[in-house]
Structure 1
Amino acid sequence: MDLSIIFATYHSEEILQKSLECYCLIESNYQWELIIVDNAYREETRKVIDLFKDIIPIHFIEKSESGKNNALNKAIPHAKSDLIWFTDNDILPNKNLVDQYVNHARSKLDINIFGGKILPDRVLPKWIEVSSPSIKTALGILDLGDENRLIDADALWGGNMLIRKGIFDQGVRFASKEITVVNNHITGSETELLIRLKNAGNTTMYLKDSEVRHQIRDEQLTLGWLIKRAYNAGGGYVYNNPVGQMPNFFGMPRYLFKVLLTDILKVLVKAFSFKKSEICLSLMKVSNTYGKLVQFSRDRNMVNSSSTNAS
């Protein structure tokens, strides 16, 4: 087996079907497999899988334990290749992706991690400022240029990253610690792993042609959805970047209250611009900061609860 592809799915059968239709278009002389982990145990998901099981090499795993990272960890031991490409159920691969990754990985044996572009599958409304890091994070967009080059591992997104299986053979796994963000959903949950791999000295390469498309749904192009996504990203930042001791207020970093107040004042100023793009970004900034505060609070409560139980 030359390449193992892994992703988790939860509901979203229409999106899953569109992605699998794209996998049917892959052209390669290499052997590859697609390992899909279903976290929802839905009959609807199995019916979609059954439509494609005789067309593409699918290994379907049903799993009850919640969490995307737990699903990915469940799939890793099933991978038959020494190269694993991790992606998401709403990602559309290009037809040459298998060849691109296998060829680069075999010619650059000193590099353990590879990744590439993630672009939207549709034209976005003008009021959505695609150049903004906040929008890129919310919509899972990644474009690091048109040259192959070495980068930090945590510059990648989980929708398009390849990691050599040898790393996982050493016992490395995606973090499965309890997540306390609302609805157990944070953005960038793979980032924690990539930070660990970077700190362990693993080299990462960005590949300009290893491009995929991210399915953008209509509801994702609404102000409410983007604000909620920014909130989740704030929680994800705290999750992935634990901090040491610092001046705090009720157990939360004091400086964040000052940042939140500043962000709110900026929203009031931007409201008078009557520019939807600027109002959107300012509201996302407030939501992101608030998400950080909430996550700090939840983590503090979890620590206090653990200490109480231990005593």
Structure 2
Amino acid sequence: MKISVAICTWNRSRLLRRTLERLCEINTDGRFSWELILVNNHSTDDTAQVIDDFSGLLPIVSLFEPVQGLTPCRNRAVAEASGDYVVWTDNDVLVCKNWLVSYVDAFEAEPEVAFFGGAIEPWFEPPGRPEWIESTWEKCKPVYAARDIGETPVDLTEDRLPYGANFAIRTDFQRVYLYDPMLGRVRSAMIGGEETHVLEQIARAGGKGRWVPNAKVQHIVPADRATERYIRSYYVGQGQANVLFNKQGSRRMVALLDASYQSLLYRLKRHRKQPDEWVSHMIRACISWGEFTSYRSRSLP
């Protein structure tokens, strides 16, 4: 068996270095070989140097993708992958030592399964997670890709999917279900969901999914992401994705009115109420604004 681990990266060399350092420590065994596909998305920092620094330490396949965006990078990695499975992680992730071995255990145990996923635990860099995020964690945790379905290898379905920082797909399925260029982050734009869309398609087509409890990772959260601004941008992106996915959402003018109303409530309550209340208004305002801007860009009513 051969495994293709894939990471797409853009201008995050400091975090990428930590990710690669941790990958140097993972356990492997004689059951499989692996390659590490690193797709440099036209980075302007020292990403290329970081990749070169690890070229003798990891089985790196270094690729350069000039088209900006996560989706072109994902599809480029799929095109170049030579493994039987593509295992996806991110440039700001610390994998556990048995991460890859745990996936291989699952692949061998159930070769008919199409996709797999493991837990993601956010780790906030100093000064840590702000109190207002702590107290509203159930509302904020999607922003930081927190995902844990438990310690049992349960089925994954269309309604219970892994997240983008820690999942795997059989390569034959992955080549059929590529990533939609309308989705995926581009620079600082926050429209995500490209991996969810692929996994939903596979599940709808009858592909089985399996949770892998021991394939755990930590997701590094820099201090500049533990902010209202970052959470707002995430939920604006979610609203835009709602329209692109044709999910139920407010129509254009209703979305604008709701965004304005919820934003007013957020501003009125921001310094007067507990975070659980004003964070809800902030999120609702951002989702509605994202829906409105997406409808506007598509000239929909």
Do they fold alike, i.e. is TM over 0.5?
yes
Coordinate RMSD, CA, aligned: 2.8
Report if the CA contact (8 A) 2:68-2:187 is conserved: no
For 2:135 and 2:152, locate their aligned partners in 1 and report how far apart those are by CA, in whole Å.
20
Displacement after TM superposition at 1:203 (Å)? 1.2
1:120 CA displacement: 0.9
Give how far 1:300 is off. 2.7
Aligned equivalents of 2:141 and 2:171: distance in 1?
Answer: 29
Which amino acid counterpart does residue 166 of structure 2 have in structure 1? N
Q: Contact 2:156–2:210 at 8 Å: present in 1 too? A: yes
**CA gap 1:98/1:280 in 2 versus in 1, 3 angstroms:** same
280 and 46 in structure 1: CA distance in 2 versus 1, 3 angstrom threshold: same
Distance in 2 between residues matched to 1:180 and 1:38, nearest whole Å: 14
In the alignment, the residues of structure 1 paired with residue 262 and residue 4 of structure 2 have an alpha-carbon distance, to the nearest angstrom, of 44
Count of residue pairs the alignment pairs up: 295
Note the C-alpha offset of 1:94.
0.9
User: In the alignment, which residue of structure 2 is the partner of 1:161?
Assistant: 167
Alignment correspondent of 1:227:
232
Per-residue Cα deviation, 1:65-106 (whole angstroms, up to 9, x for no partner): 111111111111222211110121111111101110011011
2-structure distance, mates of 1:146, 1:182? 35
Secondary structure of the residue aligned to 1:190 is: helix
Specify whether residues 43 and 283 from structure 1 end up closer, same or farther in structure 2 by C-alpha distance, changes over 3 A only. closer
Match of 2:246 among 237, 242, 247: 242
* Deviation (angstroms), 1:273: 4.0
CA distance in 2, matches of 1:284, 1:85: 32
CA distance change for structure 1 residues 125 and 183 in 2, over 3 Å: closer, same or farther?
closer
Structure 1: stretches of 5+ with no match in the other structure: 305-311
> 2: CA distance between counterparts of 1:211 and 1:130?
25
Structure 2 residue 205 is matched with structure 1 residue 200: yes
* Alpha-carbon separation, structure 1, partners of 2:230 and 2:184: 21
Identity of aligned residues (%): 23
- Structure-2 separation of matches of 1:214 and 1:179: 18
Distance 1:100 1:247 in 2: 42
Letter in 2 for 1:260: A
1:188 is aligned to: 193
Does residue 19 of structure 1 match 2:19? yes
Partner deviation per Cα, 1:167-203 (whole Å, 9 max, x = no partner): 134x331112478999553122222212211221111
Aligned residue number for residue 76 of structure 2: 74
Which amino acid in the other structure matches residue 299 of structure 1? Answer: R
Q: Residue in 2 aligned with 1:2?
A: 2
Contact between 1:11 and 1:45, CA under 8 Å: does it hold in 2?
yes
Do the aligned partners of 1:113 and 1:205 also contact (CA within 8 Å) in 2?
yes
SS at match of 1:26: coil
Shift in Å, 1:153: 4.4
Q: Look up the match of 1:111.
A: 113
Counterpart Cα distance in 2 of 1:208 and 1:130: 27
Distance in 1 separating the partners of 2:186 and 2:70: 14
The answer (yes or no) to whether the contact 2:158–2:204 under 8 Å persists in 1 is no
The corresponding residue for 1:260 is: 259
2:93 to 79, 86, 91: 91
1:176 counterpart letter in structure 2: P
CA shift in 2, pair 1:180/1:49, >3 Å:
closer
